[in-house]
Amino acid sequence: MAFEALRADILLGELRPDERLRIQTLSERYNIGSTAIREALSRLVTDGLVESEEQRGFCVAPVSQEELVDLTQTRIQIEQLALRQAVERGDVEWETRILSSFHRLSRTDLPTSVEKHAAWALAHRQFHESLVSGCRSEWLMRLCGLLYDKSERYRNLAEKYRNSSTDVPASQGRNTADEHQQLMEAVMGKDADLACKILEDHFWQTANIILEAGFGQRESHFSSATGTRKTTG
């Protein structure tokens, strides 16, 4: 319970990058014993969501533009590998999962409230998981899940940042519903090359919105680095 609660708040941006994580404060916040909190923080260090410094305790892992670029590039490479294997090995059950998850996502309202955000986030995750689920590789699925979580953290933090800043551009007319449909149709059509290209553009669209907003540079408690990549297509 401690691990899941802490992990969720870090991914959602409720616990901010570089924020000091004091055992007693967290124990009171979640009404969970300090031993469980300490063990959960140690697990989160392994996942790269928390950092531990000798004599200073724990803090939420920082974010940076440099890491986002590296994360996006790595996620694309891993998910393209999984997607190609899924197209090659996927069966009828895999196709059914894709159609079902796409239908649910397309019928889920965009996140305009906390409740809608939770529903959309779940539907969005299930759709992307369904695409690669046909790869039949436990390790690939595990890596895809880890990279998805890391990417979601950036998206959630950027959304909070956007809501508190009037000069941050929105998605500039982006239609994610169309992107998801194109991706679904390419996969269902067993066109691995097209699906991989759409996937790459889809991920970079999200990353570039965050990068072009200057996220990771404007707030002092966020780490900053340079580097952007433009979408090609």
71 and 6 co-located in one domain: no
| pLDDT of 225 higher than 50 | no
Domain membership of residue 225 (yes or no) is no
pLDDT for the residue 230: 39
How does the average pLDDT of the chain come out, rounded?
Answer: 86
Domain membership of residue 219 (yes or no) is no
Measured distance CA(113)–CA(122) in Å, rounded: 14
| pLDDT of 202 higher than 80 | yes
CATH number of the domain that residue 19 is part of: 1.10.10.10
99 and 113 co-located in one domain: yes
Domain termination site, one of 10, 36, 60: 60
Domain membership of residue 221 (yes or no) is no
pLDDT for the residue 84: 97
pLDDT for the residue 130: 97
CB 205 within 8 A of CB 225: no
15 and 72 co-located in one domain: no
132 and 50 co-located in one domain: no
148 and 50 co-located in one domain: no
45 and 80 co-located in one domain: no
Domain count, the chain: 2
In 3D, which of 178, 180, 99, 107 has the Cα closest to residue 133? Answer: 99
99 and 174 co-located in one domain: yes
Q: Compute the C-alpha angle 183/231/75, nearest 5°.
A: 60
Assigned token pair, 86: 């899924």
| pLDDT of 97 higher than 50 | yes
136 and 21 co-located in one domain: no
**Rounded percentage of the chain residues whose pLDDT exceeds 90:** 69
pLDDT for the residue 107: 92
Domain termination site, one of 16, 45, 60: 60
pLDDT for the residue 212: 79
Domain membership of residue 233 (yes or no) is no
116 and 204 co-located in one domain: yes
pLDDT for the residue 156: 87
Domain membership of residue 88 (yes or no) is yes
Range of the domain at 76: 65-212
89 and 152 co-located in one domain: yes
Residue, of 54 and 87, whose pLDDT is higher: 87
161 and 200 co-located in one domain: yes
Assigned token pair, 183: 């991706």
Measured distance CA(172)–CA(169) in Å, rounded: 7
Domain termination site, one of 60, 77, 94: 60
Domain membership of residue 229 (yes or no) is no
Domain membership of residue 69 (yes or no) is yes
Question: Residue 172 — pLDDT band, cuts 50, 70, 90?
Answer: low
Whether the CA torsion 43, 47, 50, 55 is positive or negative: it is positive
179 and 133 co-located in one domain: yes
CATH number of the domain that residue 169 is part of: 1.20.120.530
How far is the first Cα of the chain from the last one, in angstroms, to the nearest whole number? 43
Digit-coded pLDDT (tens) for 123-143:
999 999 999 999 999 999 999
Locus of tokens 């998605």: 171
